[in-house]
Amino acid sequence: MPERNRVIYEIERCAYHVHNACNDCSKYNKGMPLPDCMEELMTDALELLKAQEAIEPIIRSDPKGNSRYLVCGSCEGLINADDNFCRKCGRAVKRDETDSS
């Protein structure tokens, strides 16, 4: 996963045409020519945005099938009925009336 602050810093410098912005850009310094470096920055930004999307919880049952519970669809962390975020990975959890156990 790209480092969020670095991606923001590099996109801001590029977007605002900061003098010598390319000199400390991690993409341009890899030897990528323009606009390839900008495309890679946008790919990193897209990956970060997608990581913020709410994840669908998974309904599981205990081994005997007596009770149901929710786990995060990203990391398999346990999600309490009133949680809007996974306590393990921090991802937002999609909720609807069918999620209650």
**What's the pLDDT tens digit per position in 83-101?**
888 888 888 888 775 544 4
Residue 46 and residue 23 in one domain: yes
Q: What pTM was computed for the model?
A: 0.57
Where in the sequence is the domain holding 84, given as residue range(s)? 54-101
Quickly state the pLDDT bin for 43 (edges 50, 70, 90). Answer: very high
Residue 97 and residue 64 in one domain: yes
Give dist(CA 86, CA 66) in Å, integer. 23
Give dist(CA 55, CA 49) in Å, integer. 13
Residue 47 and residue 9 in one domain: yes
Asked whether 35 and 42 are in contact (CB, 8 A), the reply is no
Give dist(CA 87, CA 80) in Å, integer. 9
Residue 25 and residue 63 in one domain: no
Please count the structural domains in the chain: 2
